[in-house]
Amino acid sequence: MKGIQIQGVEKSFSKRKILQELDFTFEAHKIYGLLGRNGAGKSTLLNIITDRIFATSGQVIVDGEVAKNNDAALSKIYLSSEMNAYPASIRLEKIFKMTELFYGDFDYTLANNLAKQFDLDLQQKFGKLSTGYRNIFKFIVALGVPAEYIFLDEPTLGLDANHRDLLYQSLSTSYIERPRTFVIATHLIGEVASLLERVVVIDQGQVIINGDLEDVLEQSYLISGPEKEVSEYTKNLNVIGKERLGKISSYYVYGKLDDECFLPDVVTIEHLDLQQLFIHLTNPRKEQ
């Protein structure tokens, strides 16, 4: 089976459980958003998938093979993260060659073209780069490797708006020209939403949403109107948040509506965007 299967994965540090029995699959040739608040366990999960740290229990299956200590399976995965794994004194063009030694068939043409678009001098030493340009460089390397599963952990950290836009365009173009699986872990949800096909939301170490973005948003609602009418209409629905401004109450709902429930004329319903949904799903202070 193609794809990366997360099977019963748990991770604890000392007595604190970071991930709790995760079971889902990153399907082949999809662009995923891996979303969660700081400390939700996103980076921990990515490090387990790439065998940088071990799960307390459970396993990761890559294209039907257990990934742990399996070089053939792990060679299909590339993780770009905040960790700086390169010596400060090494020149950028040399890193391309080092990467090819591990992964083979590095796309020098793509990497050199992207370096020009981002105004990145490949003769520079890695240690001389700013935070933003380090992440640009790591992103270029990620697009150049022949791996089938590319994980990008906060790829736009330190980038200005123009560079973030160029990064998103470059990723989209690369995906169209050579389909593979991209998993983007980010807090800039509004910016990345248009790229995504599927979304996985982790909250307090558990997956609370895993599905096609279109289907997820189709079940995400903002229901507004006078408090009494809104409260009555939503009493049997999955309310994930509430707000009030003057006489108008707004209830945030995730899940199917009750088609048989009467909708008063004074109550309005509209769909949420991904960022609104994420905020209210993961807000620890949400009113229920």
Burial degree of 204 (CB within 10 A; 0-12, 13-18, 19+): middle
- Specify whether the backbone of 14 is left (phi greater than 0), alpha (psi in -120 to 50) or beta: left
Compute the distance between CA of residue 154 and CA of residue 158 in angstroms, rounded to an integer: 10
Contact 49, 77 (CB under 8 A): yes
Q: Residue 271 is encoded by which pair of tokens?
A: 């769909």
* 3-class secondary structure per residue, 59-125: EEEECCEECCCCHHHHCCEEEECCCCCCCCCCEHHHHHHHHHHHHCCCCHHHHHHHHHHCCCCCCCE
What local confidence, expressed as pLDDT, does residue 288 receive? 47
| Two structure tokens written together for 149 | 């599963």
**Amino acid 285: pLDDT:** 56
Strand partners, 239: 253
Q: Is the pTM of this model over 0.85?
A: yes
pLDDT of residue 53: 92
pLDDT in tens, the chain (288 residues): 799 999 999 999 888 889 999 999 999 999 999 999 888 889 999 999 999 999 999 999 999 999 999 999 999 999 998 777 788 899 999 999 999 998 989 999 999 999 999 999 999 999 999 999 999 999 999 999 999 999 999 999 899 999 999 999 999 999 999 999 999 998 889 899 999 999 999 998 999 999 999 999 999 999 999 999 999 999 999 999 999 998 999 999 999 998 888 999 999 999 999 999 999 999 865 544
How much of the chain is helix, strand and coil, in % rounded to 5? Answer: 35, 30, 35
